[in-house]
Amino acid sequence: MTRDESTAPGIAVPALETRATLIDGIVGWGRRLVPDRERAERLAADLLSATAATQDRGHGTPLTERTLRDVEAVCHRTARHLTLELRARAEPDVDVVGWPRVPPHVVQRRGGFISRVKRFDNGCGFLRVDGFDDITFAADYVLGAFAVLRGVDGLIVDLRRNGGGAISTLTLLAEFVLGTGIEQLCTVGYRDRPDRQWWTSGVLGRAHLPPDLRVAVLIGSGTYSSGEALAYHLHTRGRVRLFGQRTPGAADHVTPVRVTPSVVALIPEATPTDVVSGTNWEGAGVVPDVICPQDQTESVAIAWLADPG
């Protein structure tokens, strides 16, 4: 038996927990949380069509990792951020619990996701950020990186491994690069509660990049969620040039929900709208200005920074 045909190691999924019960759980929570009701119904229609198509092909068999990936693929027609994970059994959620708090020692161990800061001999700088921890705990690492990069002649921001995270750190990074002080980035719409807005705060004062300094942002298939958001918001304002490959296109804000006893789904609960473009990157992804292979992206960006034209 292959891994795809078995349940996840150490997790026993009872026979009565099937593809049908999984789809019912996703459909119910989608109709409850997805902000755009029409989009929620498209998600439901896709999933229920998949249910009908599999009635005669083992639809009642226990859940496996392969089942989850098949259902995920259907979800991605409408919601690219909707992912599924097998977990040890527990009671399904009745209310939204939200994301667990990341312990401060975890943030400290990974340095607030600041993975690389470098000054090149030509005066340019490099900043690799692999995610966004809450700024409450990540501030020392983020501000330390800004200090190292003070006075650079150009900057590369590497988001190719950035899987997203806290908006508080995203907005601080946006403020550092934009160099415009206080600015609204987007409006985030929910189904049954007031909209929220993302703003840069102006907290950096003058400790930001000059607004005319060249900045290259590296993106690719590993740039996801809020990582895509940072690249998108900087690009719509004409502030950066993007290098690499198209990103996956996961724009929704999601929240973890246990939709069946053994499956946790990330269900969309909010949709961001960039104030400049009037839309977002859902499904379409963030498209680079300069498409280049993964192993050449950094060198191509360095060459662009060095070109006075």
To the nearest 5 percent, what fractions of the chain are helix, strand and coil? Answer: 35, 20, 45
pLDDT for position 1: 33
What DSSP character marks residue 139? H
Measured at the CA of 157, the angle between CA 153 and CA 159, to 5 degrees, comes to 175
Structural domains present in the chain: 3-86 (no CATH), 110-249+285-306 (3.90.226.10)
Rounded CA-CA distance 32/96 in Å is 10
Closest CA to 271 of 255, 286, 259: 255
Instruction: Name residues of the chain where pLDDT drops below 70.
Output: 1-15, 52-61, 309
Instruction: State residue 7's pLDDT score.
Output: 45
C-alpha 91/C-alpha 89 separation (Å) is: 7
Work out the angle between the directed axes of helices 65-75 and 37-53 (0-180°, nearest 10). Answer: 140
Find where tokens 């005669």 sit.
56
Q: According to the model, what pLDDT value does residue 63 have?
A: 87
pLDDT at 53: 61
